[in-house]
Amino acid sequence: MDIIGNLLNISLYEGLAYGFVAIGVYITFRVLSFPDLSVDGSFPLGGAVAAVLIINGVNPWLATAAALLSGSIAGLCTALLNTKLRINALLSGILMMVALYSVNLLIMGRANIPLLRQVTVFEQAAGFFKTGPSLSLAIIFIAVLALIILLALNWFLRTEIGLALRATGDNEQMVRGLGGNTDMTTIVGVAISNGLVSLSGALIAQNQGFADVGMGIGMIVMGLASVIIGEGLFRPKGVTAVLLAVFGGTFAYRLFIGIALRLGLPPTNLKLITALLVIAALAIPYMRKKLKGEWVPPAVRM
């Protein structure tokens, strides 16, 4: 059935493109145990930086790379607020998110930058294969990018710094006690995370034809939902499996949104369904464990 095929294709594209956001959220929320809410600000930051550079004639690949860098800088700031100024982690993210709204407007100079007439990375990739840009091509392009990022992260999380990062998230006191620099690991982790989120923003902006200062609203919710759904649905064990599961969770989340759109539900109901979905994804593993008698309450770190 055509409609189902189309829906799956669109969800695949969105699952991959927004998957970077989910990976970023995973790194901060799960690996680092750092509740970073600045995602709502760094996502449009990526779009803004890429858009402004592209309309000023910069090569779109460079523009996208610059967007990634800008996100990392934003993440750096969030981490500095927490580690050096001792501002609560949650609040640091919120403060950055609020500040970035104005920063994004300043960067763009206006609320919305159309990219319809610009050459984007998607068009360049299409040109490489001598065809016009299309959804299938976008999927392939982002899939390749996702693969590269996955491999890079997979390697990184097993390096010394990567392991220190994971340890910081597990038990910061212990790491410090052993002489590790948790400030540094926090900074690295939050910077990488926001860099990935901005990368996603840059790619999405180029594909959808515009960068808008409001395009980040709701991203943190989406990222969290994707991570949790991925964990709940795929029960991954091990770094590689988890990273794949996060992409899978994003795909599932966008698929459900797509289904809800097709069902003709008013979008006000859409958010309710999203909420119910996340509740189900959370409740099912819990209930399974409880049934098996294996439930262990998790340690919650602010």
Provide the binding-site residues for other proteins, judged by CB under 8 A. 1-4, 6-7, 9-10, 13-14, 18, 101, 105, 110-112, 114-117, 132-135, 204, 207-210, 212-219, 222, 254, 257-259, 261-264, 266-268, 270, 284, 288, 291
Nearer to other proteins, 134 or 159 (CB): 134
Give the position of tokens 């609560």.
88
Q: What's the min distance (Å) between Cβ of 170 and other proteins?
A: 29
**Residues facing residue 114 across a β-bridge:** 210
Name the minimum Å distance from CB 234 to other proteins. 14
Q: Which is nearer to other proteins, 158 or 214 (CB)?
A: 214
Nearer to other proteins (CB atom), residue 127 or residue 148? 127
Q: In the complex with other proteins, which residue's Cβ is closer, 49 or 222?
A: 222
User: Based on the number of CB atoms within 10 Å of its own CB, is 90 exposed (0-12), middle (13-18) or buried (19 or more)?
Assistant: middle
Q: Which is nearer to other proteins, 147 or 284 (CB)?
A: 284
Structure tokens at 109: 């100079």
CA–CA distance, 284 with 276 (Å, rounded to integer): 12
Shortest separation between residue 210's beta carbon and other proteins, angstroms:
4
Min separation Cβ 90 and other proteins, Å: 20
Least separation, in Å, of the C-beta of 143 and other proteins? 17
Q: Nearest approach, Cβ of 264 to other proteins (angstroms)?
A: 6
Q: What is the spatial distance between Cα 245 and Cα 250, in angstroms, rounded to a whole number? A: 9
Output the CA–CA distances (angstroms, integers) from residue 230 to 23, 243, 265, in the order listed.
Answer: 11, 9, 24
List, in sequence order, the alpha helices (H) in 109-238.
121-128, 135-156, 160-170, 172-177, 182-208, 219-234
Q: Which is nearer to other proteins, 157 or 219 (CB)?
A: 219
By CB atoms closer than 10 A (0-12, 13-18, 19+), residue 285 is middle
- 3-state class of 216 per DSSP? coil
